[in-house]
Structure formats: structure tokens, C-alpha cells
Structure 1
Amino acid sequence: MTIENFIWDSHNQSVSWLYDGKVIKETFKNAHFASVNRQKNFVYVEAGKNYSQDQIYHLSFDGGPIFIFDKVNNIVRWLNQDKMVEVNCKKIVNAQLYIGQVVLIITASNGVDRRLQGFALDGTLLFEKEPPQGYKFEYLSTSKNKPSVVCDVGKTNVDAYGRNSWYFTIDTKTGDMTKENLAY
């Protein structure tokens, strides 16, 4: 089942839609963007001062939270078997739920040194990793249908075309990373 009549009201910082005959409406402080991900069946909302991505919300079509990461309050929450799981992480850079697999979080302890943490869906810490030698974690993504992280190799090690960002797929049990292909 899908949603109908999706409305992003930037003036009132709210989203609304029709689902299963019911009107769903949610309001978010400092919201500046919202959309529908029809492939993965959730409503996506970004909020933060000055258009920053301080809070990211994934809402089910019935309006319930599926995944939230909040850089301001250092919290990442997700739905697992009808219960919300919460972890506290200082200085969150990026976080992503890979449904049925893992939650990955990039943190920056001192604003520069970034680490990758992987959590089981029940909230258990599975691993904590530093970036591959010579690289810096940039953001989480998907490559070859696997959880991945985009890493920057810096200006000193670019290829002949000036490209310096690479996808590394992540083993969701161990955190081991495999260099895959260029990230554009």
C-alpha cells in the first residue's frame, strides 16, 4: 500500500499525506526538506538551522518513526521488532539504517578523526573502525547493493582525472572494508 496526497508545507515545517484512509500530519522544528521514498516505503524529513542536516527522520507511511538521527542531541534511534532502540554517539557526522542488516554511524571525536561504528539492530555494538590507511570517512552509502562508506584519499593521491573518492563496502559483522569503485 502506498501514500497519496503527499504535501510538504515549508512555511509550517510540516508534512502530511493520506494513508489507508487516514490523514497523517507531522511537524518538525527547523524542517527544510521532505520527500517520499517509494522504493523503501518511508517519508524522509531533514531539519536543522540554516538548512543543515542536524536531524534526519524516516517515518513509516502510518506516521511512526523508523529511523532518526539527531546530531544536536547525539542520538540515533531506530525501530526493531516494534521497539525503538537508541544509542548515544558524540559528534555524529552521518548515520544510516540498512534494513534487516545493521545501523552504521560515522562520528568525529575531535571534529577531524572520524570513526565508523556498526550496531546490530538490537543496539549491540558490533565494531568500531578507523578509515583505511590514507583515507578519510566522508559519508555512508550503498554500493553493489551492500552497505558502504565513501572515503576521500585527499589531494595528494588522486587519479589521472583528479578523482579522489572511493566506495568501500562494509562487512556488516566485522566492519572490514573492501575498496570497490570510484564515488562520483
Structure 2
Amino acid sequence: MIRNLQYSKEQVSWNFRQKEVNVKLNNVIFASEDKENNYIRIDSGENFETKKVYLFDFIGNLLMSYDIEKGHMAWKYNSSEKEMDIQNLLQVGYFPQKNMFLTMYQGKNREVAAFDLNGDFLFEVIKPEGFEMMYFQEFKDYVSVVCDGDDSQVDKFGRRRFNFQLNADTGYLTKEGLAY
């Protein structure tokens, strides 16, 4: 694992295997470690609004980047450069251990499409009735799509945000429980 992850507006640094890694970027908002997939996620933008996201491996190699405004994604897979454009891109969930990434984009509603790491389309995620898909979360055994429910989905305590387990073969979502 890494140690000493630090970031400023123009730089992100961390220590990995006795070496310091420095990445220079513009307008860094936040940096975090994804321990499940072993990468560093860096969000950049202005006024604390993420416009670009960069994913680096622990030794400092760029794994994937995406530009929300342009809808452009670029990543490396099996030593080759891949690119894709998604209109009205909102976010990308990168899950290399599961050979998949998810793209959330604004269509009629928030919509999600899954692709393998080669960039081949896998499936469209079917949104649960009465819910809106909000973001992705990864657990040890599965990927979850966190959804906000409409007024008919509120529990007795007023909570409406739930985790839905994604079936990685079909794209179907199964309600798991509350999301925090």
C-alpha cells in the first residue's frame, strides 16, 4: 500500500516501496487511494466542481482519465491505448479487478452502461422503478449502484438512498440495503 498521500492545487505525491511519486496536474481538488483496485484517484476542476478525473497506479503510471465536460475517456489495457467518447458524461466507475468500467451519463434520466476493459459494450444497467442512479460503490464481492428513491421509496426514518448490487452478467440491480 501507499503512505503519505498529500495533495495541493498543482501536485499530488505519495510514497510507495521506499520511493516518492509526484504527479503534477492543474486545479487538484482531491486525491484518494482506492485500496480495492490499487490506484490513486485525483479529481481536478474549479470551484470544487470536478471536471477531470485521473487514475494512477501506485508507481505513477496513468491508468485512466476522463473529462466530464468533453465526455472523453482514455485508458490503458493490455499495453494498448484506448479511447471513448460518451455524450453528457457524469462519471466513470473503474473496476479493473472485475474487468469492467461503468459510465454514468445524462440521457432522459441518469443512465449507466457497462464496458469491459477492452472497451467492448457489455450491457445497459436497468434503473429500479422509483429510483434515480446516483453513483457507484465497490464492495469486495460486487459493484453497487447507489440510488436515491422518490417519495414512494422513503423508509419510516425518512431515508431514501440505497445500495443496489449489480449483476455483472446481466446489468440487473438487486436492492441490498441503505447507502451511507
Alignment of 1:34 with 2:31, yes or no, is yes
Report if the CA contact (8 A) 2:29-2:44 is conserved: yes
Instruction: Output one character per residue of 1:87-142: Cα deviation in whole Å (capped at 9) or x when no partner.
Output: 211112221111232101111025xx111100011100111234112211111112
Query: Secondary structure in 1 aligned to 2:87?
Result: coil
Aligned position for 1:109: 107
Report if the CA contact (8 A) 2:26-2:44 is conserved: yes
Aligned residues: 179
Counterparts of 2:37 and 2:116 in 1: how far apart (Å)?
20
Counterparts of 1:166 and 1:38 in 2: how far apart (Å)?
23
TM-score, normalised relative to structure 2: 0.86
Identity among equivalent positions (%) equals 27
User: Of the candidates 139, 164, 180, which is equivalent to residue 176 of structure 2?
Assistant: 180
Aligned position for 1:55: 52
Alignment of 1:151 with 2:147, yes or no, is yes
- Matched letter for residue 9 of structure 1: S
1:25 Cα offset (Å)? 2.2
Q: Cα distance 1:182–1:149, how it changes in 2: closer, same or farther (>3 A)?
A: same
Task: Please list every run of at least 4 consecutive aligned residues from structure 1 whose deviation after the TM superposition is greater than 6 angstroms.
Answer: none
TM-score, normalised relative to structure 1: 0.85
- Across the aligned residues of Structure 1 and Structure 2, the Cα RMSD in angstroms comes to 2.2
- Higher strand fraction (1 or 2): 2
Gaps of 5+ in 2: none
Counterparts of 1:182 and 1:116 in 2: how far apart (Å)?
20
Residues 8-19 of structure 1: matches in 2 within 5 Å? 8-10=7-9, 13-19=10-16
Report if the CA contact (8 A) 2:37-2:95 is conserved: no
1:24 Cα offset (Å)? 3.1
Counterparts of 1:82 and 1:97 in 2: how far apart (Å)?
17
Gaps of 5+ in 1: none
